[in-house]
Structure 1
Amino acid sequence: MKADKKTEAEIRAVLERMAEAYENKDVDAVMSCYAPDPDVVSIGTGKDEKYIGPEQLRRAYERDFTQSESVAMTFDWLSVSTAAAGNVAWLASDITIHVQVSGKHLTLSGRLTGVVENRGGNWLLVQGHFSLPAAEQPEGQSFPEQ
């Protein structure tokens, strides 16, 4: 079911806090948005970007920050749904990432899906999946053209 406005605002605040920490390259602040569980999962856009547990996730963000001169993320559209119990929610979002790598500025249009859990009044990411739409797939087509 669709999350109520209060829940959606709380989850949006977590994502905005994560985006600010990402832009500031503050790995500790980014990690504070995730559950500290050994089975927390994040999947990125690269073939090697599957991270399980806080240590792998921390190394992933450190890699992002090391490989970029600057980076920023915005959440352009957000949909949040909750379970009947109300302490678990899932989200889908369009994101835009602005990054400077080797002196070149890139703008990446992507997506984030995730699961968050409310623990002691704080929403924390327990699963996240970042993706980039296939550039070679025309609108209206189900598969990329070769």
Structure 2
Amino acid sequence: MKTKIVLYILPFLLFVGCNRPAPVAPPDTAAETVKVENLLEKYVIASENQDCAMMESIWSPEEDIMLIGTDRKDRLVGWKVIKRAYLNQFGLVTDTYISVSDQYIRMNADCNTAWFSQVMKYNFIFEGAAQSFEGLRFTGVVTKKADGWKIVQAHLSVPANLNISK
């Protein structure tokens, strides 16, 4: 009886012990970085065209995402609040043109989270007068969801001219 049990269990153990999982290809960091670049380009296009539907497609729909604006009180949490802010902005400005420079994107090892920074020149018409923000910094975090990369946290800031030197 013991011999029969050993004869049945031994091949099973050999099969299980020798069965190795198929190797998993490492994530393609360069390809995922390009996808994040494209997401950030969509942000610019959505802002310039005042396209709230496109803006919604690039932000994660969760209620724990965050946008920190240029004003001290501008801490917007949740897509509904962020969307309201974009709609308000779109109602106040026209003829928006944004140029991006100094873009920096880094990816975690699993290629499912990335962080970015970029400098933007933001031109628009407000109350009939041309306005321009130079050196506007846009930073944030994006995560890879089932339907692609989404912004989960972003911060816009305007540099101050403090002239501090050592």
Higher relative contact order (CA 8 A, sep 6+): 1
Candidates 42, 63, 75, aligned match of 1:17: 42
Candidates 138, 144, 152, aligned match of 1:126: 152
| AA partner of residue 90 (structure 2) | F
- Gapped runs of 5+ residues in structure 2? 1-27
Partner residue, 1:45: 70
Give the superposed CA RMSD: 1.7
**Alignment CA distance shift 1:59-1:141 (3 Å):** farther
- Gapped runs of 5+ residues in structure 1? none
CA deviations on 1:82-134 (whole Å, 9 max, x unpaired) are 11221001011111111110111112121111000011261100000010000
- Tell me whether 24-33 or 68-77 shows the greater mean CA deviation: 68-77
Q: Which has the higher helix share?
A: 2
Partner residue, 1:66: 91
Instruction: Report deviation, 1:8.
Output: 2.1
Structure 1 consecutive aligned stretches of length 4 or more whose deviation exceeds 4 Å = none
Q: Distance in 2 between matches of 1:58 and 1:32?
A: 11
**Alignment CA distance shift 1:69-1:121 (3 Å):** closer
Kindly tell me the number of residue pairs found equivalent between the two proteins.
138
**Alignment CA distance shift 1:58-1:52 (3 Å):** same
Partner residue, 1:141: 165
